[in-house]
Amino acid sequence: MTGAEHVESQPRLRVRAALADEWRANIETGVPVLDHLLELIAEYGGFELELQVGPGGSAAGEVAVAGRAVGEALAGPLHAQDARGLGSAAVPAEEALAHVALEASSRPLVVLNFDLSDARVAGLGSDLVADFLHGLAEGGGLTLHVRLIEGSDAQHVLEAVFKALGIALAQACRPRSRKE
């Protein structure tokens, strides 16, 4: 396993994230659809990701806490001196196609070209995913561009976004080659 680990000491939050030879996820946020989406980040990015958010908050609060915690856990590998610091991926999920490009810039910013605030996925307002992305950008010091190229089913759109996010994060964490 390569990369830094970050463990929050708050009594209701525990997170650990690192690049690994084999991906593994142990995620319990209290929001099942978010758990699934975070597992996609781990799987497609090749991360070992552990995240437990204890009970006691609203779904919106849990999502924001999870995003920031994952960003903070990945900040070390993203901003390491030999890290690429850049990542980009376009990924499909059924009819949806999403592109994510990111830079470890230390200037948190999220730019989206779609709004899913009226959509419901497993009872979760999809606008909460924007809260996750903003927390991730803040915690990890990321400039994050998320583009929906095609897609009408909210679940497929979210899966495409989180798969692409996992790949882009992994690219940004990996060391630069000598040719770069």
Question: Count of CB atoms within 10 A of residue 138's CB?
Answer: 17
pLDDT bin (cut points 50, 70, 90) of residue 6 is very low
Distances (CA, A) of 77 to 47, 69, 86, 164, 174: 12, 14, 12, 18, 8
DSSP 75-114: HHHHH-TTB--EEEEEEEETTEEEEEEEEE-SS-EEEES-
Domains present along the chain, CATH in parentheses? 13-173 (3.30.230.40)
Strands 109-112 and 124-125: unpaired
pLDDT at 146 over 50: yes
- What is the pLDDT at residue 152? 92
Residue 12, pLDDT score: 61
pLDDT tens column, 75-115: 999 999 999 999 999 999 999 999 999 999 999 999 999 98
pLDDT digit string (tens) for 13-62? Answer: 677 777 777 888 889 888 888 899 999 999 999 999 999 887 666 767 77
Tens digit of pLDDT for each residue in 63-78? 888 899 999 999 999 9
User: Which pTM value belongs to this model?
Assistant: 0.87
Chain-wide mean pLDDT for the chain?
A: 86
pLDDT at position 123: 65
